[in-house]
Each structure stands twice: as C-alpha cells, then as structure tokens.
Structure 1
Amino acid sequence: MIDSTNHSNPIYDVIGIGIGPFNLGLAALLDSVSEVQSLFLEKEKEFNWHPDMLIEGTTLQVPFLADLVSMVDVKSSYSFLNYLQEHNRLYHFYFLEKFHIPRKEYNHYCRWVSEQLKPCRFGMNVQKVNPIEQQSGQIIYEVTAWNEQTEAFEQYLTKHIVIGIGSIPSVPEHLKDHLGSSVFHTADYLSNIETCREANSIAVIGSGQSAAEVFIDIAKNQQDRDVSLQWYTRSKGFFPMEYSKLGLEYFSPEYIDFFYELPQIKKDKLLKDQDLLYKGISADTIGEIYDYLYESSIGNEYPDIHLQAMTEIINLEKKEDSVRLVGYHHVNEEYFEVEADLIVLGTGYKSKLPDFLNDMKEWMDLDDYGRHKVKKGYGLEIDLSTDSEIFVQNGEFHTHGVGAPDLGLGAHRNAVIINQIAGRDVYPLHSKHVFQTFGIHKKTEKTLSNAFSND
C-alpha cells in the first residue's frame, strides 16, 4: 500500500476508467451533480462503440429509450430525443416509426454526448490502480495513466473508481492459436471486410446476433460471385432471442433484486437456463436471412450456402491457401472436415477484470470459481478498511443476472452508483416496474403464514 503523505494532487470523488456507453452515461448523469468532482479516462482517441460491427442496416436490440440517461432522467439534455432535436432529425425519426434505432446513429449520438462532457479525456491509457493511505487513515486510490499525447505518465487520486471498459471477444481456447488474417472474431469484421470480399469460401462460427449479422452481410455482398458460405453452431438450432413483453421484464430492477439474493449455485443454474434471454438472434434478422435464402433459390438456383446446427468446430488446421475445419455433430456423433479461405468467429463476448487491477488482486474477494464478488450496489468486495469503492459496469453478470450487459439498465445502475458516491438520492429509484412477481407474492406469503398458524 502506498503512503500518500507526499501527494499534493487534488482528490476526485470518482474516476471512471473506460468510456463506453455505461461510463459515458455515468458522466452525463453526473454533469448536473455539482458536488461530485469526476474524471473519465479512455485509452482510445475518441468514442467509438464496436466500430467493426457498425454494419449498414443493423440496429440496437433495445428501444431508443435505452439511451444514456432517459430511464432515470428524461429531462436530461443528453437524451436521444434531445440529440435528434439538436440535429434537426425529430421529424425524420417521427416518420421513421421505429422503436429500434440504427446502430450507426446510436454511435453518433454517444460521440455527440462525449464531445460535450469536459471530464471525459481520451488517449489516456490506465496502467494501474493502487490503494493509498491518507494521513487521516482513510484509504483512497491512485490511478496511473499513460497520456498518449504527451507520452508521459500521470497520476490521479480518487475516492471511488468505476470500471467501464466493456467486454472482450470470447474465443474458445483451442481456436486462439489460429487467430490471424484468415481467422478472426466478428469484433474485427469491418476491418477485414475487403479480405472477405476477395475470399472464395467463408465459414461463420456461432449462432448469436453478431454471427447472424455477419452471415447475412457476407451473403448479400457475395451474391454476384460464386462464393461458398458455411455457417456452423454448436447450439441446437438458429433460434430467436426471447423478446416477448413478459420476457423483457427480466431486464428490470426488480429482477436484479430477486436474483442478487439467491445462493450463487442457483444463480449459475438460472443463467444457464436463461440463455435465450441474452443469446440467440433477433426475429427480424432471422426473417431477413430466410427471405434472402428464399429469394436466392427462385428457379431452383440455390446458392452455395450451408447452415448446420448441433455442430462444434473442434479444431482448425491452417493450410497454404485455406483453413481446414474439423467438426463434430453432437447428435449424429460424427466427425467431418471442410475447408474455407476465411473463418469468422461469432463466439460472443465475456467480461474480464483489467490488468490495471493486478496490484489490487491481493485484496479482492473471489468466489469458488475464481470470480470477483460484487456487492448489491455494484462495488467489488475488497478486504480493505475503507469507504472507497471500486464499482463495475457490466462485470456483474454472475452476481446480478442477465441485465448486466443490457443498455436499458445502464442508467439505473448509474443512478445506484451516483447515489452512493453523493451520499444522497440524486436520482430517486422507484419500485414496481414490472407486472409479474419473481419471488413469492407478499399477500400469498402472508396467507400461507396465517394458514399454518391456524393449524
């Protein structure tokens, strides 16, 4: 632990590390909270949300109200509707009559917000976080960042930290060694678009939304060429994501409250059973894919496109001009081999505590699976005698449930964090957002209690 006796730097109330949508929303909601001094650091030179997946025609999978602020403050000047008004697009949006906005426009909206917020500093690559002890005995944190512009290290002191670096591409261990120009994740798709357009055969692996978007984009761009396109997934089918209205209520503060109080063993089982709440493909994208396949087959002129579920790619072998895929069909229990020029991995994303927290690991509480423990208020469980918190954004999937990565709950989580930092209810957190009950209805519980007492 570092002694802060000789430190003369000002002490921020909170430093956000990483400026993705969640921390950008936090910065926007803090803009009107004058008593909280904040700073946000991002290693990239500017805001850009999944730039290699801003495929033409793709949309958010959540309604436009899931912007940076509206779910807790619709009057904020950083709302998406105000963005439209400032860009003279309200009537365009009104006539569009769509609830789900283009992903490209969401990115432009976020960039617009980031350019207005003075606490947001880009080109600042955080290297480490250390606890330091003040003369009063209070433990706070020192954040060390590399300034890309000045090419020098800078240190900052803060009472609290909020980590919002986002998730990272998830690649199966047995495929990691093959990553390169001919094998890459969907997270790098647009950077490799020209290579895709020159390939004669492409295989897409995975059955989530990203894999589906890449598949249909490749198919449409290759329709005038004689190209082989294969799509494999180990899932039981190319299924739609659950998107019914009652299903969406699982992405609510009430469900977080219910889920958090469960034993971890029940949480892990529930998450496995709820995979279609956060995995799968949107019904619109499935419809677009089927319509394309149908129109392409008119006159029995079937394109060289192959879709196969229940199949795991267990190995890749790079050859001189192609890649050999070794697959296994789990139902037929059969192995097979095919070849492709390019492999695109749509194998999802995962959260990971960043390397700049390595010096904090000795104080972090982990569960039986080596995962960090997270308090209900989104602070990490840390064995330090301090009121200072290290909050996580989208790093609490295993503790708080399926809503962790959901944009629609980002503003709510930020309100919870802000209220703790400010020590008051800056943003009131209301209850009763859903019509269903996730636990036992209180009236039922009371009636049952009375029944037993009468016995």
Structure 2
Amino acid sequence: MTDAEYDLLGIGLGPFNLGLAALLDGAPADLDVRFLEQNPEFNWHEDTLIRGTTLEVPFLADLVTMVDPTNPHSYLNYLSEANRLYDFYFYEEFFIPRREYNEYCRWVADSLSTLRFDRRVTDVDESDGVFTVETVNPATGERDRYTAENVVMGIGTKPHVPEELSDALGGSVFHSASYLGRRDRCLEADSVTVVGSGQSAAEVFRDLLERRPENGYGLDWITRSPGFFQMVDGKLGHMVYTPEYTEYFYGLSQETKDELLAEQDLVYKGIDPATSAEIYDQLYEQSIGGADVDVGLLAATEVVDIGDIEGEPGHQLLCEQREEDEAFVHASDAVVLATGYEREDPPFLAPLEPELARDDAGRLSITEDFRLRTALDGEIFVQNAELHTHGINAPDLGLGPHRNAVIVNRLVGEPVYDAAPAETFQQFSVDDFVRERGARRPGETTEAPSPD
C-alpha cells in the first residue's frame, strides 16, 4: 500500500476517459478515482457539431455497451431517461446525430461524481510508486495537487495546421475545429475555400454548399489527395474494427505495422459514403436548369502558402498541382483549413521523460494492455495514443469500451469485464486459420477428422 490519495487519476475527459469513468462507476471493486478536465464542462468537439452530421459508428458504440450492455450509462438508457425511446424507435437509423451523442455524453458526465472540471494538468511526477499531479484552474489560477498510484491519459488530439500555413491563421483563416464559432465569417464572404480532405473537410463543404444559394458566395474545395475518395465501407471490411484485429496487429513487427498504417488511410480517413452522396446530390440539385453553381473542386493540389491581398480583405493561396507539376494563385475571402489533427506528447510528462521507453522513431513504447513502458513503479495507461502499436482501432469509438475493460481489469487485478477478443467470421492470423479451417503449413501433415 502507498500513501496515495487515489487509486487512479484520469487526465483529460473525452469519450474514452468518460467511458472509463462510467465502467468504473459500476465496477464491484472499491477504487478511489478522479478524472481531471481543463474545460468547465463536457463538450465533444463543440464547434464541429454541424446539424445533419452523424457518428460514423453505430449507436451501440456508446461509452459502455460493447462490454457491459446492461450498464445504466448506456445510450439506450439515456434515451429512456430522456423519454426518447419511441422517438428513436421511429427514427430508424443506426447512426445517430453527433449532436445527440454529445448530449448523451453530457448526461453521463452529469451523473458521475468522480469528474473534476476546470483542472488543467501542468505537471506529473512520480516517486516511490506515487504520482503527484499538479493542476491549475484556467479561469481563476487556483492550484491543486493530487496523488495517485496510477494515471490514465486521455487528452485527445489537437488541430493540425501545416507549418507553412500557420502564419495565416486568424480572422477569416481558421481550422475546421472552430468552424461553427466562425461560420458567419464564411457566410458574409464573397468567396470561401475549404482546404483538406477527409470527413471534416467534407462536412464543412457540405454545410457551406447547402447555404451557398441564399448567401451567394463562390465555394471551392482543394485537396492534396489524388481525389475526393470515400472511406472503405462495407460489412466485410468493418471486421477489422474488433479486439481480435487489434490483438493481431499488436503482434506484428513495427516495420510491418508502419507499412500497414500507410496503406490503411482510406479504411478510416476517407469521406463517409453518405456525406459524399449528399454533396453530389446537392451539386446536382443546384445545377438544375443550367444554373451556375459557382463551385470548384480540385484534387492532387497542395496549398503551400497563404498571403494577404494588398489593399483588399481577401487572401491569396499559392497552390501546386502535383500531377501536372504546375503552380497557380487562388484568391479567397475566407479559408477553412480542414487539415486534420495531430497528437503530441503532453508537456506535463516532461519530468518523467528519463523514465519513458521509446521506439526507434521516438514514439512512446506501449504494452498490449495499454500501459506506457517505463522504469516507474506506478503505471501510466493511455487512451488513443497507441495508433503505432495497436493500429487503426486506437481512435475508434466502438473499441473504446474494450480498451477500458482491459484497463479496469488490470487495475482491479481480476476480470471484472470480459475483455477477451470476440471471434468474428474473419481470421487474421495464419495460426487462427490453420486451427479453425484445418489448413497446414508446408511440411506438416493433417490428421483426418475422427469419426463421431
């Protein structure tokens, strides 16, 4: 035993750590836990909750259901408590509005006594198996100190802007992460350009496209991707989103993992097929009768610089079309940079850096059960920081409950939740296929099945 105040401190409060708090709330073990969040309340990407956008995973991928279907913090129980079960029943959709997912998460957050808001973590240190976590209230400057035997980081990602474009940020040039808060700047402009690819860019473009006729701006979408491609979709392809595939991926060599991740972009980074179809349908609708839709879409083109237009309010984008190897300048009053998100090691880990193991590329080394490899006595768990070790399932909402079940079981020291990889119709490893399908390796013989 230690003199730590808590068994576990959670740093950051997105859906993954919120889901962990929800599972711990129902766990039979008597654990003292706290989750610390720098914002004053729970809100999941508040400025991206555009009306009409949905989760890209089914509603069963809530905070708890995939490992604990009867948990009171489930989405279905939220609907029941909100008197919306019949409304949802007749909604007849598997993919729920993103705005309602946020409302559901806020409902769960309101029910948990282990969450502490207005706590920005500034330092984490460890001594003799006890972590000391320093926090500051961003609004008041008030400081607090917490101690715990274990820490779990769920701090998420931050908007990524290419370095060559970062000087242009401000005013009518902004990242899509702040879209709703700055949308009026686009609606008041004469021309708007969306830069980037993937779902975020598509959702912003669709919203601006729908509003274009009544606002009258020209609208362009420029991406360095070779096309406006949708993500790989289909029931067979979705079988990689399972704990079984995560287990398989973890067992591969790091070189193979890196090669696979480079090939799997469209498995999880492309445009949702429904969004893609809605954009095309809107373009078609607006062009009826030969109307000029005043819209441009250009792929294989990188925006390498954004500058001001002297004496005018707009911006000029220096662009390079890769396939033709040709440059041009494009003028736009407003620019939305849908250039993705990135993960950085949090500054508060700096005191622990000498104790953290890293791979040859400088990335954190992570165990199969989601712990940082360290020389510390205490344990640091991670949420969605393990893409390079566990694969494309790291950011997937549907796999969050499984990861949390693994973490809970590790904390308690016994299987509170069933975290064994559930088998699907697909085998991922040779071992599994040989065992399940009666195949053999070269040089091996197969035994005839014994009679019943």
TM-score (norm 2): 0.94
Helix, strand or coil for the counterpart of 1:189? helix
Q: Does 1:42 align with 2:37?
A: yes
CA deviations over 1:76-97 (Å, ceiling 9, x no partner): 0000000000010000000000
Aligned to 1:408: 398
Q: Alignment identity in percent? A: 47
Q: How does 1:290-369 map to 2 (within 5 A)?
A: 290-319=280-309, 320-369=312-361
Residues 233, 310 of structure 1: 8 Å contact kept:
yes
Residues 151, 379 of structure 2: 8 Å contact kept:
yes
Corresponding residue pairs, total:
440
Question: Unaligned regions of 5+ residues in structure 1, if any?
Answer: 1-6, 134-138
Deviation >2 Å, runs of 4+? 147-152, 430-433, 441-454
| Alignment match of 1:140 (pick from 123, 130, 136) | 130
Q: How does 1:50-199 map to 2 (within 5 A)?
A: 50-133=45-128, 139-148=129-138, 151-199=141-189
CA deviations over 1:88-121 (Å, ceiling 9, x no partner): 0000000000000001100000000001100001
Report the RMSD for the aligned CA atoms in angstroms. Answer: 1.6
Aligned to 1:256: 246
Flag the 1:441–1:453 CA change in 2: closer, same or farther, 3 A: closer
Report the alpha carbon displacement of residue 420 of structure 1 after superposing the two structures with TM. 0.4
CA deviations over 1:337-389 (Å, ceiling 9, x no partner): 110011111111122221111111121111122211111111111123x2x21
Q: Does 1:373 align with 2:365?
A: yes
Question: Unaligned regions of 5+ residues in structure 2, if any?
Answer: 447-452
Aligned to 2:266: 276
Q: Distance in 2 between matches of 1:235 and 1:447?
A: 41
| Alignment match of 2:200 (pick from 210, 213, 218) | 210
Aligned to 2:413: 423
Moved more, 310-319 or 339-348: 310-319
TM-score (norm 1): 0.94
Flag the 1:224–1:399 CA change in 2: closer, same or farther, 3 A: same
Aligned to 1:3: none
Q: Distance in 1 between matches of 2:439 and 2:272?
A: 42
CA deviations over 1:253-304 (Å, ceiling 9, x no partner): 0111111111111111100111111111111101110111001101111211
Q: Distance in 1 between matches of 2:23 and 2:7?
A: 14
What residue identity is the alignment partner of 1:24?
Answer: L
What residue identity is the alignment partner of 2:33?
Answer: S
Flag the 1:294–1:380 CA change in 2: closer, same or farther, 3 A: same
Q: Does 1:438 align with 2:428?
A: yes
Flag the 1:308–1:150 CA change in 2: closer, same or farther, 3 A: closer
Q: Distance in 2 between matches of 1:237 and 1:412?
A: 34
Aligned to 2:449: none
Residues 324, 339 of structure 1: 8 Å contact kept:
yes
Q: Distance in 2 between matches of 1:229 and 1:290?
A: 14
Report the alpha carbon displacement of residue 449 of structure 1 after superposing the two structures with TM. 4.4
Residues 176, 338 of structure 2: 8 Å contact kept:
yes
Report the alpha carbon displacement of residue 443 of structure 1 after superposing the two structures with TM. 5.5
What residue identity is the alignment partner of 2:261?
Answer: L
Helix, strand or coil for the counterpart of 1:371? coil
Q: Distance in 2 between matches of 1:452 and 1:268?
A: 32
Q: Distance in 1 between matches of 2:106 and 2:397?
A: 16
What residue identity is the alignment partner of 2:49?
Answer: L
Q: Distance in 1 between matches of 2:409 and 2:260?
A: 29
